[in-house]
Amino acid sequence: MFYFSRAEQAALVALVALLLAGTGVLVYQRGKRAGAAAGPAPLLVEAPAVEAADAAPAGREAPGAPEADDGKDPHWGNARQPAQPSPASRIHLNTATARDLEALPGIGPVLAQRIVQRRQDLVEQRGHGFESVDELLSVPGIGAKRLAAIRDLVAL
């Protein structure tokens, strides 16, 4: 069908090779950008908790089961610190929707709506929302215990 001379065949092979190389470079650059946007991968990932149905009968441990958690890291022997959520993963009180707020422990749909309503009231009164996390105490249904449970999970 098509008959190419030796020079034309070489030029065609070179063009295809350049096309493939260019595509590879673009894929690499996009992957590098996507990886940078996602942030660094965690070095250690905790194993999920063992379900009660998977647990060994009382008095006997399942083979290979981890020892009881005494609050110490088994590899280092020192007390573990609770993981603090990164600022990027915290819920921003002045921009969160009621649905976002429902992800917080102890916050249901009614309480989430009260938080959003209180924020709207503050915006109407002084032109901006919450100034501190402690202002959540002015929301009916949020007391000191509930505030302590969510304090590290929200940001301003």
Q: Tell me the average pLDDT of the chain.
A: 79
Give the C-alpha separation, 25 to 2, whole Å: 31
pTM of the predicted model, to two decimals?
0.47
Is residue 67 in some structural domain?
A: no
Q: Is residue 27 part of a domain?
A: no
| Sequence-ordered list of residues with C-beta below 8 angstroms from that of 66, at least 6 positions apart, any chain | 50, 74
Compute the average pLDDT of residues 87-110.
Answer: 89
Q: Which domain holds residue 107?
A: 87-155
| Residue 125 belongs to a domain | yes
Query: Domain containing 126 — which CATH number?
Result: 1.10.150.320
Does residue 148 belong to any structural domain of this protein?
A: yes
Residue in 115, 107, 104, 117 with CA at minimum distance from that of residue 152: 104
Q: Which residue from 112, 103, 97 is spatially nearest to 153, judged by alpha carbons?
A: 103
Q: What percent of the chain has pLDDT over 90?
A: 51
* 55-90 pLDDT, tens digit each: 445 544 445 545 545 555 455 555 555 556 666 678
